[in-house]
Amino acid sequence: MCGIIAYTGSQEAAPILLDGLHRLEYRGYDSAGIALLHRKRIRCWKAAGKISILRQRLPETTAGQCGIGHTRWATHGAPTDENAHPHTDSELRIAVAHNGIIENADVLRAQLMAEGVSFSSETDSEVLAHLLGAFDGSLIDAMRTVLPRIQGTYGLAAIDREAPDTVVVARLGSPVILGIGDGEMLAASDMSALARHTREIVHLDDGEVAEMTPRGFQVTTLDARPSQKNTTQLSGVLADYDKGGYAHYLHREIRDQADVVERTLSGRLDTRFSTAHLGGLNLAPRELLNIRRIKILGCGSAFYAGMSGAHMIEQLARLPVSAEAAAEFRYRNPVVEPETLYIAVSQSGETFDTLAALREIRRKGGHVLGIVNSVGSTIAREVDGGIYMHAGPEVSVASTKAYTSMLTVFALLALMLGRLRDVSPQRGNALVEALQGLPDKVRETLALEPAIASLAPMLVTAHSAFFLGRTSAYPVALEGAQKLKEISYIHAEAYPSSELKHGPLALISSHTPCIVMLPNDELLHKSLSTLEEIRTRGAPVIAVTDADHPRIRELSDEVIHIPQVEPLLQPVIAGIALQLLAYHSAVLMERDIDQPRNLAKSVTVE
């Protein structure tokens, strides 16, 4: 959510800033702007709406080799030209682009207005420009004076007309990454904006501020103590951020998933001992044996993946495992136990609520592992150990390949913990073979796309849809409903099949399509009774199943017959089928599939 790009060097800044903003579009935004510094003068161009509108407002030539840009996702104030970033002070000395939320903005605004300052926007962020502009000194000293007064979160970049080739950036709770070039420096809130220009990056930590010039950078704390930073190599290549010939990033990312599963599994299956090798956990076998329960924390699709992961681990390791929404965890004053292992799951590694939960657990002495996709992200750096997903960059707001990669990681973790505790070598060998064959099963599922696409018309005229499943299929139903409502805007709810007659059945009618998950397991006969209940009420039924039971065809209007797999891995296959169903429904409805309304890719504010 929101995006920052900054540049200082020998090239004209405007094209670089605009390209960076374009690559940040996937995070979600409703306005954009840039500010350029040239000959001790700051000029700003801003526009509500798409970056294409901003491009039209720029003159043919825009001089300036130092500047900042921003894509805004509205929080304080409507998406208007005035509320778009960057913001300036009254004297046009300072320009600021800010991600995050200033919780005491109203107090600061009132103080500034009492001093005679006039505001031109409704945003909380504008107070930063006026506070920095009022400081009589260097921009970095102004940052060190002003930022301790800020309550909330920030990832910000600022320029000062008195320092013609300098950009100052700072971070507290919202990511900022430096990109090191040849005679130039960049900064961004996301690696995608840096991929074209650099392979060497530095992550800022909370409470740090960096001063960048074309000659290099210096990172210090807010109290001016030097920070020693290690550079890392940018993961992914520029082509990873392109559509690859598909109409939408989401479609490419769905189609990429066989390769994604292969990457996630690569080097992690131990055929000799019929287990998984996960070296980044930083826990010895004896320490893992001392674990008495596991708690998984995530938001959105990561939470649903965690629910599936809890089922996998509990089945194989015979440990009590539960998943919880990270956003709720820290507000209920949780009991953190020394023999509980906590797992934080986040594609970006920057999800604010998951990061806050992680910090609360560590503050109370808990041990936290991370499952993340972004190398060097904040969660990856703050956990005690973890597993990188290696899903590659995920651009579309709605998660597909990252969700599938999370499930694959949980299967590996369940196998490893199971072999330590309760799983025989023979059972372990069968699971290893099933995981080795999983990429081909994903390819078989993707081959069903034309048949699945033909079912989309059943959904596009519906006002509501229901997704139903039992035990391991319930989290898949939750994720299926999430995908449909995210990208098609069709209201969708998921329920355990066993709960249908405890309330939701009142809503079932001929106008409410039901997508029913029917894994070929010991509960199939109970799931068939759910089909009977739905059919009696006249609701259209799409069954998603790997079973061959004749009653499924008799009781369903349509059947998505997915490949048979090891039951533990069935959520991976069923989830991909539901992604395709949601995608083609959204295509028929002509939705903005990669950037659905009101949503952002990485939620870095509370």
Six token digits for residue 423: 């799983």
Q: What is the DSSP letter of 567?
A: G
Active site includes 2? yes
Torsional class of 502: left (φ above 0), alpha (ψ -120 to 50), beta (otherwise) = alpha
> From CA 75, how far away is CA 2, in angstroms rounded?
10
Instruction: For residue 594, give the nearest of 311, 341, 241 by alpha carbon.
Output: 241
In this structure, the number of other CB atoms found within 10 A of the CB of residue 308 comes to 28
Q: Which residues of 203-219 are buried (b: 16+ CB within 10 A; e: fewer)?
A: bbebbbbbbbbbeebeb
Catalytic site residue from 2, 66, 299, 514: 2
Give the sheet arrangement for strand 87-88, strand by strand. 87-88, 94-99, 154-160, 167-172, 208-213, 216-221
Six token digits for residue 233: 């190599």
Residue given tokens 């590694």 in the structure block: 349
In this structure, the number of other CB atoms found within 10 A of the CB of residue 91 comes to 11
Cα separations in angstroms, 587 against 161, 443, 557, 581: 47, 22, 22, 10
Torsional class of 262: left (φ above 0), alpha (ψ -120 to 50), beta (otherwise) = alpha
Instruction: For residue 167, give the nearest of 288, 36, 43 by alpha carbon.
Output: 36
Name residues whose C-beta falls within 8 Å of residue 276's C-beta, 6 or more positions apart in sequence. 268, 269, 270, 412, 413, 415, 416, 419, 432
Phi and psi at 296, nearest 5°, equal -110, 135
The 3-state secondary structure of 202-261 reads EECCCCEEEEEECCEEEEEECCCCECCCCCEECCCCHHHHCCCCCCCHHHHHHHCHHHHH
- Is 236:393 a contact under the CB 8 Å cutoff? yes
- 167-172 and 208-213 strand pairing: antiparallel
Burial class (CB in 10 A: 0-12, 13-18, 19+), 503: exposed
Six token digits for residue 27: 């995070």
Q: What share of the chain is helix, strand, coil (3-state, %, to 5)?
A: 40, 25, 35
- Is 340:366 a contact under the CB 8 Å cutoff? yes
Catalytic site residue from 46, 483, 485, 601: 601
| Residues with a known catalytic role | 2, 601
